[in-house]
């Protein structure tokens, strides 16, 4: 009986709550953080690549291994994994919030089902991001002269997760106010700021591993 009263295909109230005038705006809201994250990674990867190329032009004999491909790929993967951790732990296991609980409180079965739908859309975007990250890592198998330090891998994963927290926290919690980290709390902003601080700590840890990975690289020897 519970299933037949809350499923999307058999409950008119759930359908109306999802497929209304806010459907496309909500879809854009779900996607906005991932768009911003993609722009950030593209900009920083471009700037880092330019710096790497300038170093090689300044010293052609150095033939330095490139740390950017692995760092970029693992950062994308870290964003996807960070999204999954957020969705699995905070949305499903702890059930502190769902995607639209600040606008549509999950206090009825219908509202719970509506939020569950948008959680699914969010997980779909994190899945796509994770698949892109895996593809980027696989693509490195055919590349030469790149730095393959494990510290770059872990650094990218940590930075990606931290980036996800910062961007998603700023956009969804502060700007769009779609939900709070712990919806049923007397001090919602405290949890929201904690989410951002944790993301910042992950970024610092990722940067530390990145620096360690690049400092351990060795210049490639030229063939005699």
Structure token digits, residue 91: 């949305």
In sequence order, the 6+-apart residues with CB closer than 8 A to the CB of 185 are 191
Residue 54 reports pLDDT greater than 50: yes
Q: Is residue 4 part of a domain?
A: no
Q: State the Cα–Cα distance between residues 42 and 37, nearest whole angstrom.
A: 9
pLDDT above 60: residue 219: no
Q: Which residue has the tokens 């499923």?
A: 7
Q: Decide if 152 is inside a domain.
A: yes
Determine, yes or no, domain membership for 14.
no
- Contact by Cβ (8 Å): 191, 182: yes
**Residue 2 included in any domain:** no
Domain containing 40 equals 25-215
Contacts of 223 (CB under 8 A, 6+ apart): none
Structural domain tally of the chain? 1
User: For 122-150, how does the pLDDT look when each residue is reduced to its tens digit (9 = 90+)?
Assistant: 999 999 999 999 999 999 988 888 899 99
Phi–psi pair at 66, nearest 5 degrees: -95, 120
Q: What is the pTM of this model?
A: 0.90
């Amino acid at each position: 009986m519970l299933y037949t009263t809350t499923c999307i295909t058999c409950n008119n109230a759930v359908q109306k709550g999802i497929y209304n005038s806010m459907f496309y705006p909500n879809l854009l809201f779900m996607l906005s953080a991932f768009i911003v994250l993609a722009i950030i990674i593209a900009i920083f990867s471009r700037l880092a690549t330019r710096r790497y190329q300038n170093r090689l032009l300044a010293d052609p004999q150095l033939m330095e291994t490139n740390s950017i491909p692995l760092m970029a790929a693992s950062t994308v993967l870290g964003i996807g994994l960070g999204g999954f951790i957020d969705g699995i732990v905070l949305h499903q296991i702890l059930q502190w919030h769902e995607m639209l609980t600040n606008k549509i409180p999950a206090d009825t079965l219908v509202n719970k089902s509506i939020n569950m739908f948008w959680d699914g859309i969010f997980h779909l975007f994190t899945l796509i991001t994770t698949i892109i990250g895996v593809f980027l890592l696989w693509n490195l198998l055919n590349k030469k002269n790149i730095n393959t330090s494990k510290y770059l891998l872990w650094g990218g994963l940590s930075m990606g997760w931290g980036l996800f927290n910062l961007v998603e926290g700023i956009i969804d919690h502060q700007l769009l106010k779609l939900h709070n980290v712990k919806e049923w709390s007397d001090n919602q902003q405290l949890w929201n700021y904690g989410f951002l601080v944790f993301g910042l700590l992950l970024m610092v840890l990722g940067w530390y591993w990145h620096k360690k990975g690049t400092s351990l690289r060795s210049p490639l020897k030229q063939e005699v």
